[in-house]
Amino acid sequence: MANFDFDTAEGILRFAIGREVEANVFYNLLTQYVDDPQVRALCSELASEELEHKGLLELELMKLGSVVKPPSIADIKNTALPRPLDAMLEMVKVSQMDLEKIVLLAMEKEKKAFRLYMELLAVVSDADCREVIMRLAEEEARHKISFELEYDRLKSSRKNSGQ
């Protein structure tokens, strides 16, 4: 977070864009590790939605007069953007988890994303930017609920199969 200026809407938006890119990478990688078709479809859907979120945030940047550009090498070193090694290490952990733990991990990530947007909301004064951040907070909460439903389904099917 240190490289972002949280006193400006632009800094907040750029930080949030990095988090959405990170979520997209996570869900795209997750689709390769889950065998359950419903969970895989949910991860694929959410990967797409995270890119939509990125687009909304980039649009807000453009409204502020900022140029949206691909991340530079300096940006990639920033903790707000995914780093390939971090993603690979996380996937090593994920590959050793059972499906229920993977779903719990995704739930936790969505909960953190929701909290992040709520924290950002507290420091944003631009009305349009606040509206977008509130919308994204709501979507992250819906994502968490989607994983909660999948978790309940998995627990129920395991219980019904006697495991």
> What CATH number is attached to the domain comprising 54?
1.20.1260.10
Asked if residue 103 lies in contact with residue 42, where contact means CB atoms within 8 angstroms, the answer is no
What's residue 7's pLDDT?
A: 73
Mean pLDDT for the chain overall: 84
- pTM (global) more than 0.85: no
Q: Is residue 4 a part of any domain in this protein?
A: no
Say yes or no to pLDDT of 129 above 80.
yes
| Helix axis angle, 99-123 to 9-30, nearest 10° | 170
Query: Which of 11-15, 47-51, 139-143 is the least confident region?
Result: 11-15
What's residue 10's pLDDT?
A: 84
Q: How many domains does the chain have?
A: 1
Say yes or no to pLDDT of 1 above 50.
no
Q: Is residue 150 a part of any domain in this protein?
A: yes
Q: Is residue 84 a part of any domain in this protein?
A: yes
| Dist. CA 14–CA 75, nearest whole Å | 10
